[in-house]
Amino acid sequence: MASINNTDILKSIDYAKKNQLFEKLNNIYETLPKGQCTGCGSCCMESVGINLIEFLNIYNYLQDKDELRKKSLDRIMDYYFMEFIEKKSCPFKDENNRCEIYEVRPLNCRLFGHWKKEDYNKNLKDITEKNQQYKNIMKVKYGFDISDEVVNYKIKYCEDFIPEDRYLSKSERLNFADNVMVLDSRLFSKGIIDIEFRDRGIVEYFIDSLLNQNMSYNIKVRISKEKNISKRTIGRLKRMLIK
Ligand code: SF4
Ligand code: SF4
């Protein structure tokens, strides 16, 4: 496994700009139904799944915002390396529960309130079961327990969000996701970034831009096993990697 180096990210951003892929992404976002939200931020509690084009869009957005970029990377590293130990918010949620990358927030964040309750709760049940299975695998393979706080954390269905018209069916939601995936396939077919960087969360994409995947995962496992080294190790990595 590898990392996504900065040169390849910049080349991909360049390709996306020349081929209007960011405009196309924004057009997809524009077609999403609207709704009313209290902005409480309770749903911003995970490394939300994103597509490569969305990662590039966010990376590009942060390029001339040095302070926000460094602050976000700092939180991203805490989130990633402490992920098996404690539950943290999405690294882009600020102290006032606002999204710091609201303009370029990914599709899944934009669709959050639009789920039908029964679909949402079914998905939540599946996630909790998968988390439990993953906990068992990690115990057998590496000999540590992912904390129950992490395994059992649930982002509850939002009753406060009011869709402008109606809730979306699963196929309608997947249709939007497919449209974004088409943009990804343009990037992958260009061959600048390896296809293995698919299906990652927002945190994982940024970690991959800093460190080799194997190395970051091994460090995370070590931190999870020897909790007393966590702060020191993460602090050292931050000083090394956040420039
Ligand atoms: S969608 Fe719901 S939980 Fe999320 S910020 Fe809006 S009101 Fe809060
Ligand atoms: S990217 Fe923004 S909207 Fe999405 S989960 Fe994070 S803070 Fe919330």
Encoded tokens for 197: 């960087």
What's the CA gap between 25 and 53, in Å, rounded? 8
What's the CA gap between 47 and 31, in Å, rounded? 24
Strands (DSSP E) found in the chain: 35-36, 49-50, 162-163, 200-201
The 8-class DSSP code of residue 102 comes to G
Interval between CA 43 and ligand 2 midpoint (Å): 8
What's the CA gap between 151 and 157, in Å, rounded? 17
pLDDT score recorded for residue 2: 62
Return the best residue to mutate from 40, 94, 124, 159 for the ligand 1 pocket (most ligand atoms within 8 A of CB).
40
Q: In this predicted model, what pLDDT tens digit does every residue of 206-217 receive, in sequence order?
A: 999 999 999 999
Going by alpha carbons, the residue nearest to atom 4 of ligand 1 is 43
Under 8 Å between Cβ of 11 and 192: yes
Encoded tokens for 149: 């706080």
Interval between CA 52 and ligand 2 midpoint (Å): 16
Return the best residue to mutate from 42, 48, 112, 153 for the ligand 2 pocket (most ligand atoms within 8 A of CB).
48
The answer, as to whether pTM is greater than 0.85, is yes
- For range 62-83, the mean pLDDT: 97
pLDDT score recorded for residue 108: 97
* Among 41, 29, 33, CA closest to 160: 41
Interval between CA 63 and ligand 1 midpoint (Å): 28
**Number of CB atoms found within 10 A of residue 239's CB:** 9
pLDDT score recorded for residue 96: 95
pLDDT at position 1 over 60: no
User: How much of the chain exceeds pLDDT 90, in percent?
Assistant: 89
Under 8 Å between Cβ of 19 and 186: yes
Q: In this predicted model, what pLDDT tens digit does every residue of 5-50 receive, in sequence order?
A: 889 999 999 999 999 999 999 999 999 999 999 999 999 999 999 9
Query: Which atom of ligand 1 is least distant from the CA of 41?
Result: 5
What's the CA gap between 93 and 153, in Å, rounded? 17
Interval between CA 148 and ligand 2 midpoint (Å): 23
